[in-house]
Structure 1
Amino acid sequence: MTGTSNRSVERAFRIVDELAENGSGRVSELAERLDMPVSTVHNYLQALVSTGYVTVEDKEYATTTRFLEVGHRQRHRLEVFKAVSDELQDIAAETGEHVTLLVEENDQCVIVAVQEGPDAVNLFAYPGARMPLHAAAPGKAILAHMPDDRVREIIDRQGLVEMTKRTITDPDVLFEQLERISEQGYAVDEGERIAGMVCISAPVLDKGDRIRGAICVCGPQSRIDEARREEIAEIVQRAANVTQVNLDYV
Structure 2
Amino acid sequence: MALKPEPTASNHSVQHALRVLETVARHSTGVTDVQIAREARLPARHLTPLLLMLRREGYVQQVADGAYVTGEALTRLGSAAGREQAIRQQVQQTLDGLRDTVGAAVYVSRYIDGEVKITQYADGPRAPKVNEWVDFRSAAHASAVGKSLLTQLDMNGRRDHLSRHRPARLTSRTITDERLLFRKLDAQPPSVPMLDLQEYAVGTVCAAVPITAGAMVGCLALSLPVEHAHRLRAAADRLNRGAAPVLLSLAI
- Shorter-chain TM-score bucket reads 0.5 to 0.7
- 2:208 is the counterpart of 1:239: no
Report if the CA contact (8 A) 1:197-1:221 is conserved. Answer: yes
Offset, 1:79: 9.7
Report SS of the residue matched to 1:185. Answer: coil
CA distance in 2, matches of 1:119, 1:165: 28
The match for 2:204 among 184, 197, 206 is: 197
User: What do the CA deviations read for 1:176-228 (whole angstroms, capped 9, x no partner)?
Assistant: 2212334443211011111121101111111x4x4432111101222121xx3
Q: Greater relative contact order: 1 or 2 (C-alpha under 8 angstroms, separation 6 or more)?
A: 2
- 2:206 is the counterpart of 1:213: no
User: What do the CA deviations read for 1:105-157 (whole angstroms, capped 9, x no partner)?
Assistant: 354322222211442235345xx974421111011111111112211111122
CA distance in 1, matches of 2:168, 2:86: 30
CA distance in 1, matches of 2:187, 2:168: 21
Offset, 1:159: 1.3
User: What do the CA deviations read for 1:49-77 (whole angstroms, capped 9, x no partner)?
Assistant: xxxxxxxxxxxxxxxxxxxxxxxxxxx85
- 2:103 is the counterpart of 1:100: no
Aligned to 1:188: 195
Aligned partner of 1:215: which letter? L
Aligned to 1:162: 169
Aligned partner of 2:108: which letter? L
Report if the CA contact (8 A) 1:202-1:216 is conserved. Answer: yes
Report SS of the residue matched to 1:246. Answer: helix
CA distance in 1, matches of 2:143, 2:91: 20
Normalising by structure 1, we get a TM-score of 0.59
| Aligned residue-pair number | 169
* CA RMSD of superposed structures (Å): 2.8
- In structure 1, runs of 5+ residues without a counterpart are 1-75
Report if the CA contact (8 A) 1:101-1:112 is conserved. Answer: yes
Relative to structure 2, which stretch is displaced further, 155-164 or 79-88? 79-88
- 2:146 is the counterpart of 1:139: yes
Structure 1 stretches of at least 4 aligned residues deviating more than 3 Å after TM superposition? 76-83, 105-108, 121-125, 128-131, 182-185
Normalising by structure 2, we get a TM-score of 0.58
- In structure 2, runs of 5+ residues without a counterpart are 1-82
User: What do the CA deviations read for 1:6-34 (whole angstroms, capped 9, x no partner)?
Assistant: xxxxxxxxxxxxxxxxxxxxxxxxxxxxx
Aligned to 2:19: none
Report SS of the residue matched to 1:138. Answer: helix
Aligned to 2:23: none
CA distance in 2, matches of 1:80, 1:176: 36
The match for 2:122 among 109, 115, 126 is: 115
Alignment of 1:15-94 (within 5 A): 77=84, 81=88, 84-94=91-101
CA distance in 2, matches of 1:169, 1:192: 10
- Aligned identity (percent) is 24
Report SS of the residue matched to 2:234. Answer: helix
The match for 2:156 among 149, 162, 170 is: 149
Offset, 1:78: 9.1
Query: Greater Rg, structure 1 or structure 2?
Result: 1
